[in-house]
Amino acid sequence: MAFELLTRIIIMIRKLLRALVRRPTVGGIVFLAAMLSANTITGAEPVRKNPDNDESLSTIVESLKSAWNKNDADRIAELFLPDAILVLPTGSVTRSRSEIRQRVLAEWRGKLKDSQLSYAVEDVSLLNNDTAVVTGKYRLSGVKILGFDQAPEGPFIFRHKKQRGRWMISKAEILGHKAK
């Protein structure tokens, strides 16, 4: 029974792909993108639910907060892969662990000096056994702009990859913020 259902699904996907090649439609392109992003066509191994992953991934965010609040740029850098990417709310992109460290130090010399980071993790999603996404909200208190205290806040998205059994940040996006 399961084999028959799987065969029907494969035939349906083939027909949709042939139709998409002959006459591309927005719906067909969206379907194909969804299939690819869900790893159904690429054959990624299935994700085994492991509660330790959620805890480990959330702990990385806690480690980042703790290091930020202690002005420990080295510890922050250790949480990132060597080729990691950091995207700031301004659209500025920093590439590599060492550049991320330098960027953090530069921010602490400027308006983020003495700022304190807080956060709330909203979701932890395992895309496969070695790739995960953590989303949430951040808040930076103690930011000084023109002598006034500000508290920028907004969403974040951290993409993680597991290397040698350890979760590390491969891309951190600190999205647009508003000051309160």
The tens digit of pLDDT for each residue in 58-98 reads 899 999 999 999 999 999 999 999 999 999 988 999 999 99
**pLDDT tier for residue 151 given thresholds of 50, 70 and 90:** confident
**pLDDT tier for residue 18 given thresholds of 50, 70 and 90:** low
Interaxial angle between packed helices 2-22 and 26-37, expressed in degrees from 0 to 180 and rounded to the nearest 10: 130
**pLDDT tier for residue 57 given thresholds of 50, 70 and 90:** very high
9-13, 41-45, 138-142, 147-151: the lowest-pLDDT one: 41-45
Q: Which CATH number fits domain 51-174: 3.40.1160.10, 3.40.50.720, 3.10.450.50, 2.60.40.10?
A: 3.10.450.50
pTM of the model: 0.70
**pLDDT tier for residue 55 given thresholds of 50, 70 and 90:** confident
